[in-house]
Structure 1
Amino acid sequence: MVRFRQLRALMCGCGMLAIVVLPAIGQAAPALRPDMVRSLEAMQQHLSEGETADVAARSRAAAERLEGGNAADRWARALFLQMAATAEARMGNDVQAADLFATARGIEGVDEAQRLRWLNQEARLRLRAGQAEQGGELLESWLKQAGGQAEASDYWLMAQQLANQSQWQAAAEWVDRARQADNAAGNERLELAASIYQRAGRNDIALALLDERLSRGSDAPEAWRRAAALAQRLGYAGRAAALWDAAWRQGVLTSSEDLRQLVQLHLSGGTPARAAEYLEQALEEGTLPRDKANMRLLAEAWTAAKSRDRALEAWRALAERTHAGQDWQRLGELAYGWGRWQAAIDALAKARETGGEAARAWLLEGVAHVELEEPEQARQAFRAARQAGASQAEAWLAVLDGGGEEPSSR
């Protein structure tokens, strides 16, 4: 979920400091009396010197005295309210400042341009104060009226506000406008946009933005994990592996769990040799324990990579560790499939001794002896296979006796 603290940070980067600029005196008709101008200028000077509390109190008092006056008094009252709002904002009293801007823009006779500026400032203050719904409505109202005055930062702020309310589709539309207005988004806005697009179901764009963000450099592990997870969810397994690999090489992801995930991503992403290399190095260095699970994973990785010698070596090491018939059987089957006949014979014999598939083990062993031109050993194996229930054993015996054709399937 997009957190409120992100909204505060975004607002600070989107012109919130404009709230605390000094009020412009005499910028609109009607003309003020000289004494009123002097009073406003004096308070402006005090404000610039940091006397915020005093200026806030005195400006409020002056505004109250002017209530109900003529057009000039109403204009002066609005300016005193702006002065008080500016002081309150500088003291961090956002709600009070927003209320003062709301009062100022409601005064009769304030021109529309000034009213619109105060609407913008009130909206931002309410958002910063946590009045999300009211602030969002005010900001949207301002955007509808602002026309060419609106900037990319305003669109970003609106997107953030809608995201805070989990209105992801609407937020994504404002992100679209923000990126059209200014596509050179900073890192924080790229992350915001990616989060909004992802929640809105626009995952390909989200992934592209995450890629762009990470390409600029990031030491945040969760950013890399999130990008890889999204790539994997979209079916881009190779891309997920590449992202995780980059984070690992940059030292952003460092745990043993991260390493195992890296291996798994390379396996599913079509780069099993890379998975095996990482895993083998980890086992040699002790980064990962040389337990049965990791040894099996290494054997599977080398097998998937079709690195025959390393795969057979890894399966043999595993089988010697587990003493399991199925592991010896797997080694024998692989050796048989790759034409490593003697290795197949040795492994299949171990498989029979440790609970492997006896019928198939005897049958394959017999074929391996045929390939090695060892007919007597082949006959013994096929007879044992026949006794164990292998259906093709009889055909192979006929071949050895010169009375049949070699079975099409081994």
Structure 2
Amino acid sequence: MKTMMQTRPLCLLAWLLLASPALAAPTLSGARIDDLQGLERRLGQSEFSAVRELALSQAERLAGGNASDRWARALYLQLAASAESRLDDPLAAADHLAEARGIHGVERAQADRWLRQEAGLRLQGDQAGRARALLGDWFQRHGGTSEDHWLMAQLLAAESEWEAAARWVNRALEADATPGQARATLAATVLQRAGDESAALAVIERRLAAANGDPETWRRAAGLAQRLGDPGRAAAIWEAGWRRGVLAGSDDLRQRIRLHLAGGTPARAAELLTSSLEEQALADDLDNRRLLARAWQAARDHERALSAWRDVAERSGAGDDWLQLGELAYGWGEWDLAGEALVKAQALGELEAEAWLSSLPEQNGDEETGGTKENGPAAEA
């Protein structure tokens, strides 16, 4: 995680030197200011190790001095912290800032600025608990920006305190309604873990338009919609991702078909699967043929559903597939096909087929019975 110290490396020290009267900080000699600014320039020239060593040496030499020495010592420690940060040692940088803000005479406002930076460095150094305590202390005196609210949410999430993290996420979203990908992922995760899946889905959906190249965002949004009991919304999200080219490949195509089937558009699922099999975009295997049969069945297209189930049964030679075909034909009043399929199912060991066969109407009684028997087993619609 980038810290303010990393992204704005040298601004703070120069500002402190220029603004010291307003901060009621002790006056520094011209030589001291020149030395501090010289180290600042060397920091800007990437002389990180040299700046760290010189700044720490000066800070140690000034320990126990007068008010001016203590203020200079704090500034040297701030420079050392900047150097440590660039040397990828965030915890060492945090320790220097902690020491600087604890020096007697450092103004509260300045100490709080260093405290806020230290919290970010502690988090970067995997000290989430200490970072959270620091930021909690800082929030007692500051409202903070959305940046600060996101950080607090991240700290709480690191400790799996989802409900507390969700409160900070919601505060952050008030000022940052369309966060970047990383923060949107954090927000969605926190809200989902806190039990507010609707809000989590809303965050992800706001990111979809900007997530053209991120298929996982689209998959997650569809998955959340499914868990919320809205398969139609899931299918619509997946379809949009497919049309944008974000979702692609056989696995995503198969999921697209399954979501249409679950989302109340089974005829569309069947049409997609039919064309996919014809174009060899999906394997022409039994799993896909069964999926096609279920799709036409859900769409209540009698002719295509029965034809698809016959194809499955003939390919598999399995008794349960013939039984499925027989039950479906029975329910739709296709007696000849029902009898043929049930006989084959019975021959293949499906015991249920006998009950269905015994309830088939006599052929010469079709007109009188209307094609059913009063005491036959319940047929599948």
Q: Normalized against structure 2, the TM-score is what? A: 0.83
Residue in structure 2 matched with residue 133 of structure 1 by the alignment: 129
Of residues 333, 339, 343 in structure 2, which corresponds to 1:348?
339
2:62 is matched with 66
Distance 1:47 1:320, change over 3 A: closer
Aligned to 1:268: 262
Is structure 2 residue 101 aligned with structure 1 residue 105? yes
Q: Is 1:56 matched with 2:46?
A: no
> Counterpart in 2 of 1:114?
110
- C-alpha deviation, 1:236, in angstroms: 1.1
Alignment of 1:230-245 (within 5 A): 230-245=224-239
Could you tell me which amino acid in structure 1 is paired with residue 48 of structure 2? T
Match of 2:271 among 268, 277, 291: 277
Larger Rg computed on CA atoms: 1
Structure 1 pair 200/20, CA: closer, same or farther in 2 (3 Å)?
A: farther
Give the direction of change, closer, same or farther, for the CA distance of 1:127–1:119 in structure 2 (3 Å limit): same
Aligned CA distance change for structure 1 residues 286 and 38 (closer, same or farther; 3 Å): closer
Q: Which position in structure 2 is the counterpart of 1:45?
A: 41
Structure 1, residues 321-362: CA drift from partner, whole Å, max 9, x if none?
3456665565566556556xxx64255245336538467547
- Measure, in 2, the Cα distance between the counterparts of 1:95 and 1:391: 81
* 8 A Cα contact 1:219 1:252, kept in partner: yes
The amino acid that maps onto 1:104 is A
TM-score (norm 1): 0.78
Report the counterpart of residue 27 of structure 1 in structure 2: 19
Match of 1:176 in 2: 170
Instruction: Please tell me whether residue 158 in structure 1 is matched to residue 152 in structure 2.
Output: yes
In the alignment, which of 267, 280, 291 is matched to residue 286 of structure 1?
Answer: 280
In 1: Cα distance, 2:91 partner to 2:207 partner? 35
Determine the C-alpha separation between the residues in 2 that align with 1:329 and 1:26.
88
Partners in 2 of 1:325 and 1:125 — Cα distance? 66
Residue equivalent to 1:400: none
Matches within 5 A, 1:11-410: 11-12=2-3, 16-18=6-8, 20-21=10-11, 23=13, 24-28=16-20, 29-147=25-143, 150-322=144-316, 331=325, 334=328, 338=332, 344-349=335-340, 351-352=342-343, 355=346, 357=353, 360-361=356-357, 364=360, 366=362, 370-371=366-367
Going from structure 1 to structure 2, the CA distance change for 1:358 and 1:182 (only over 3 Å counts) comes to: closer
Inter-partner Cα distance in structure 1 for 2:325 and 2:336: 10
The answer to whether the 8 Å contact 1:324/1:355 transfers is: no
After TM superposition, the structure 1 stretch with the greater mean CA deviation from structure 2, 15-24 or 235-244, is 15-24
Percent identity over the alignment?
A: 48
Post-superposition shift, 1:364? 4.2
Q: Secondary structure at the match of 1:110?
A: coil
Read off the aligned partner of 2:19 and give its amino acid letter: Q
Which AA in structure 2 matches 1:321?
R
**Cα distance in 2 between the residues matched to 1:50 and 1:332:** 79
